[in-house]
Amino acid sequence: MELDLKHMIRILWKRKWLISCVLVFGIGFSVYYSYFVLKPVYEASTKFIVNKTQDVEGVGSININDLNANIKLIQTYKELIRTNWILDDVIQNNPDIPYTLEKLVSMIKVSSMNETQVVTITVEDSSYALAAKIANTVTGLFVKKIPQLMKVDNVTLLTAADATVLPAPVKPNKMMNIIVAAMLSLVLGFALAFVIYFFDEGIYSEEDIAEASGLNTLAYIPKMRGKHLKTVGRSVRVNTNQVKGGKETYATTQQ
């Protein structure tokens, strides 16, 4: 069965109440889930710079070879931060952190802009104070322990996470959740309307009659109700054959 644009619009308009109910339910569920079920997630971050300390008096210029070496070292540092070498000490020295090693690894993100020496350590948690504490602890331990491991003092803390402030949560994006839910609900409503149409074998219009019988409709009698029938001194019996859906009625009268 081929469907043109007008036919498709008629199908959707006929099921507008179904589509509207699905849309309202989807938006309502998204609002409830986003505002009352999902917990807000906060993000705390610290920054440090990888820059070799000049020990020689009077040396003030930047050596391009040292700069490139520091940038390459950043990839190594990013991996070291998320290993047991650092995180074991974080857990042992802070018993109030209620997370396992695996959980801490999943919470910590280490990033750096291309060709820069600045590294950012980011921690996400439902408690901003705890996220800030983890970020500061991990960064502090790394700055303290890296000279012992690499035999070079080239890491300097730039900014620490301020645990006294409460920023806006980074997750969930409530408005985006609602918009996505509305779009998915609308698509689902359209799909249900077409599924019902394709599996419905009822006759609702002249086009349905012509398609089912292969014959053209010459005339039709509109649906008649009892209040439309008036008897004037005679008994009239009305036999009706009503097309499913109640739009049209074939009627014969017998005196």
pTM: 0.65
Distance CA 210, CA 223 (A): 19
> 42-159: which CATH topology?
Alpha-Beta Plaits (3.30.70)
What are the tens digits of pLDDT across the range 188-198?
A: 999 999 999 88
> Are residues 220 and 248 in contact, defined by beta-carbon separation less than 8 angstroms?
yes
Distance CA 72, CA 157 (A): 18
- Helix ranges, the chain (H): 5-14, 16-32, 64-81, 84-93, 101-107, 128-150, 174-199, 206-213
Helix axis angle, 16-32 to 174-199, nearest 10°: 150
Q: State yes or no: pLDDT of 125 exceeds 60.
A: yes
60 pLDDT tier (thresholds 50, 70, 90): low
Summarize the confidence of residues 89-118 as an average pLDDT. 89
What are the tens digits of pLDDT across the range 135-178?
A: 999 999 999 998 888 887 788 899 999 988 888 899 889 999 99
Summarize the confidence of residues 19-32 as an average pLDDT. 95
Sorted by where each begins, the domain ranges of the chain are 5-37+173-199, 42-159, 206-254
Of 15-19, 50-54, 158-162, where does mean pLDDT reach its minimum? Answer: 50-54
What are the tens digits of pLDDT across the range 198-239?
A: 887 777 667 767 776 777 777 776 666 666 555 444 444 444
Assign 3-state DSSP to the chain and report helix, strand, coil percentages, each to 5.
Answer: 50, 15, 35
